[in-house]
Amino acid sequence: MINGGRKNVLGVLVDVIDYEGVVEHVARAVRERQSLSISALAVHGIMTGVLDKEHKHRLNSLSLVVPDGQPVRWALNLLYKSRLKQRCYGPDLTLHLCKWAAKEHVPVFFYGATSKTLYGIRTELASKFPELEIAGMEPSKFRRLTQKEKTELAERIRKSGAGMAFIGLGCPRQEVFLYEFKDLLLMPILAVGAAFSFIACEVAQAPGWIQNIGMEWFFRLCAEPGRLWRRYVILNPIYVVLLTLQALRLYSFDATGVPPRSELRYG
């Protein structure tokens, strides 16, 4: 198990951790009924913190930020000689935790995406982990929640009997959700983004060899160019330039953000 602490990547604090380490954190939080907020971040997620100081504060206030993308893992290895051999890929992390939850009889909750996607997740997980108990599922409202809706949603998740909740709202909305709900839910809550669509078999995953060489972004860009071109064509080069500056110690990135002035309540 690897758990090497938090490291500054362009001002965003990313944990040097592997799947086993995350499962251990989750298991402890479930046993002790403690809040635990975890986000799996790729380059796009890191850049949301770089470009927005309020969001940097949110990210750096989470319990764990794990390296979802290969370029984020490479950054940890380049800057800090972390020797991480694999990333904590959101879809695989979700499956690792569902396997653990099935074995330990910990009910899980899914919030986000559409009813169709949630049905696909239920079907696939029932096939992979027959003993997994799904305490509840709710689709996204695809808008901001009112304060009353936020309070009621937190209450429904608590009363469902779930021991942990997976959140799939897309970046950065899901990280906002974690930040605003983490003190309302005494359980692990995990932002896993595209894991919902991948597990439901709605979106094709890149072949393993493409993932391993860090070109999954290109595979996804080719599949959804209209939706993703800004994310990858603009943000990826900026990430490389800024990371080079940090590696060469030509620029120091402050991890201090600015507390948000108001809630966004994405749902």
Q: What is the CATH number of the domain that holds 85?
A: 3.40.50
E strand or H helix that includes residue 8: strand 3-9
pLDDT at 90 (0 to 100) = 94
Per the domain annotation, does 38 fall within a domain? yes
Identify the pLDDT of residue 70.
93
Instruction: Please write the tens of the pLDDT for every residue from 142-178.
Output: 999 999 999 999 999 999 999 999 999 999 999 999 9
213 part of a folded domain: no
Is 238 inside a domain boundary? no
Is residue 113 one of the residues assigned to a domain? yes
As a whole number of angstroms, the distance between CA 88 and CA 196 comes to: 16
This prediction has a pTM of: 0.93
- How many folded domains does the chain comprise? 1
Domain that holds residue 140: 10-199
Residue 171: predicted pLDDT = 92
* pLDDT attached to residue 201: 80
Predicted local distance difference test score (pLDDT) of residue 263: 95
Q: What are phi and psi of 135, to 5 degrees?
A: -75, -25
Q: Using one digit for the tens of pLDDT, what is the confidence trace for 216-229?
A: 766 565 666 666 65
Q: Is residue 242 part of a domain?
A: no
Q: According to the model, what pLDDT value does residue 4 have? A: 78
How far apart are alpha carbons 178 and 167 in whole angstroms?
8
Residues of the chain with pLDDT under 70: 1, 203-206, 208, 210-215, 217-231
Tokens read off for 179: 């930040």
Q: Is residue 252 part of a domain?
A: no
Residue 159 located in a structural domain: yes
Q: Which residues make beta-bridge pairs with 167?
A: 111, 191
Residues found in the chain: 267
The confidence score (pLDDT) of residue 176 equals 98
Cα 75 from Cα 87, distance rounded (Å): 11
- Residue 231 forms part of a structural domain: no
| DSSP track, 82-140 | ----S---HHHHHHHHHHHHHHHT--EEEEES-HHHHHHHHHHHHHH-TT--EEEEE--
